[in-house]
Amino acid sequence: MPSLFFDFAHLLAGSLVLLSFMLLYQSRMIGVINIFTAHAVVLATSIAWQAYIQNAPHLYFTAAMALVFKAIVIPIALVRIVERLHIHRTIDTAVGIGATMLLGMLLVALSIVVMLPVTAASDPLAREDMAFALSVVLLGLLMMVSRRNAVSQVIGFMSLENGLILAATGAKGMPLVVEISVAFSVLIAFIVIGIVIFRIRERFDSVDVPDLDRARGDQP
């Protein structure tokens, strides 16, 4: 297989990592959603690319689904929620942006370090992709823990999940990828619906997680 294939795959995976960083950096809700859309688009492209180079047609379906669901439906839904909740201005972060970025760097470094000992026997493409995917996953997690606002946490989770899909598609010939991605989309749908439900029930005037925590039982 010509190395161009690899390089393009790398390019896409690398740009996913980059977008994750931008997610961390972005401080406006709407901006976050936009970047996430981009994230999804890039993911879809990379899946399609994988489908092409692995000539695994079923991956095209996954790509399409990623595109439709993550790059169109979810962002729209989120934007509407954000508008209804009037939280499109800046969002309060638990950790400062700078610190977050720094942590992100370290995480990427870490993910490369843990991937290095993997023998090149398993094909380099997958191996490098794994390193990138791992960084995307970790960055997604980092976003979830460094944001106080539920919507951005959800976005963090979805970027994490993008990383997973990236890994899954990167692993050559992995079965059930479609099913898994479907299952995950269901999961995400649940989360979004969950937020909507919480909005509908007047018990919570905002979906900021701390407010949920007020309701905890066993309080002293």
Minimum separation from the CB atom of position 54 to other proteins (A): 9
Minimum separation from the CB atom of position 219 to other proteins (A): 7
DSSP letter string, the chain: --HHHHHHHHHHHHHHHHHHHHHHH--BHHHHHHHHHHHHHHHHHHHHHHHHHTT-THHHHHHHHIIIIIIIIHHHHHHHHHHHHT--SB--BSS-HHHHHHHHHHHHHHHHHHHTTS-TTS-HHHHHHHHHHHHHHHHHHHHHHHB-SHHHHHHHHHHHHHHHHHHHHHSTT-TTHHHHHHHHHHHHHHHHHHHHHHHHSTT-SS--HHHHHHT-SS--
**Cα(32)–Cα(164) distance, integer angstroms:** 20
Residues across the chain: 220
Minimum separation from the CB atom of position 99 to other proteins (A): 13
Q: Does 105 engage in binding with other proteins (CB under 8 A)?
A: no
Interacting residues with other proteins between 22 and 81 (CB under 8 A): none
Q: Does 191 engage in binding with other proteins (CB under 8 A)?
A: yes
Interacting residues with other proteins between 112 and 141 (CB under 8 A): 113-115, 117-119, 121-122, 126, 130, 133-134, 137-138, 141
Minimum separation from the CB atom of position 37 to other proteins (A): 20
Give the bridge partners for 28, in sequence order. 90
Smaller CB distance to other proteins: residue 11 or 191?
Answer: 191
Q: Does 99 engage in binding with other proteins (CB under 8 A)?
A: no
Q: Find the part of the chain contacting other proteins (CB under 8 A) among 3-11, 18-26, 28-36, 200-208.
A: 200-208
Smaller CB distance to other proteins: residue 86 or 216?
Answer: 216
Q: Which residues bind other proteins (CB under 8 A)?
A: 94, 107, 110-111, 113-115, 117-119, 121-122, 126, 130, 133-134, 137-138, 141-142, 144-145, 147-148, 153, 157, 160-161, 163-164, 167-168, 171-176, 179-180, 183-184, 186-187, 190-191, 194, 198, 201, 203-204, 209-210, 212-220
